[in-house]
A = this chain, B = another copy of it.
Amino acid sequence: MNTCQRYLKEIAKARHLEELQEAMNFVLSELSIESYAYLNVGVGTNSARSPFLIGNYKSDWTDYYIRNKLDLIDPVIEASIKSCVPFFWGVPEVVYASRPEQEVLFRQAASFGIRHGWTVPIHNCNGRIGTINICSSKEFDQFKEHIENLAMMLHVISIHFHASVCKCELADTKRSSIDLTTREKQCLEWAAKGKSRTDIAEIVGLSPRTVKFHIENAQKKFGVFSTRQAALQAVLSGMISI
């Protein structure tokens, strides 16, 4: 068994988020990664659902980040939503602050020693994405070289880590898999076809309130906050067709 396989095994055997964090701390320290943060965010609307964070960034910064919902404006998160391959960010790179509040964010991060980094975005199409963010106090060139040497391994480790997070999360919430009821699918299907609540009510022979009820349930199951997203998720996961 090679080194990477050993690392992946370490990550796979974790049963709770705490164990997972320990495993990741161990693996990344072995790889001389001084500072990392796994951020799991919803791609949905800016509602109450909080993103969650695992890692060893300074808690002053991460607390502030989460409390102020900075993920909503973070250009790194924006880029992660769009990209499916890892990317560098910070001073000499493309992914950088473009709007005033993003510049504030970068300045604030810099005051905690976070000036540049490398991020692995991980998508699994359930309305949330995972990002492994690695940063360093080293000079950018030196950091980049270090990362590029490890990129392959770090990329794979990140994906498996995210998969483990999802597994632990699922185990926690006891939601084995997303399973829509007949009514939920029926209502969502018409919603995806562009019908309004009242239309659907008439079509399927329910009250508009009940249609709302079923769509709301579907939204909860997908962890999203709009019919738009629920319809998308249902179509993308092959549960309904339009």
Instruction: Give residues in A with beta carbon < 8 Å to B.
Output: 2, 4-5, 43-46, 78, 81-82, 84-85, 99, 122-125, 127, 148-149, 151-153, 155-156, 159-160, 162-163, 166, 177, 189, 191-196, 199, 203, 205, 224-229, 231-232, 235-238, 240-242
Contacts and interface: CB of A to CB of B under 8 A. Distances in A.
A166 B85 CA distance: 12
**Which of A45, A78, A156, A194 is most buried by chain B, counting CB atoms within 10 A of its CB?**
A194
Identical copies of this chain, number:
2
A124 B43 CA distance: 13
B237 A235 contact: no
Given A193-B44, A238-B45, A85 B160 contact: yes
Given A226-B194, A228-B227, A81 B45 contact: no
Given A127-B235, A231-B232, 5 more contacts: A5-B148, A44-B193, A123-B123, A192-B232, A232-B235
B46 A225 contact: no
Contacts of A122: 84
Nearest to A5: B148
A205 B241 CA distance: 34
Given A124-B84, A194-B225, A228-B231, A43 B238 contact: yes
A16 B232 CA distance: 29
A154 B242 CA distance: 24
A181 B231 CA distance: 24
A143 to B, nearest CB: 16
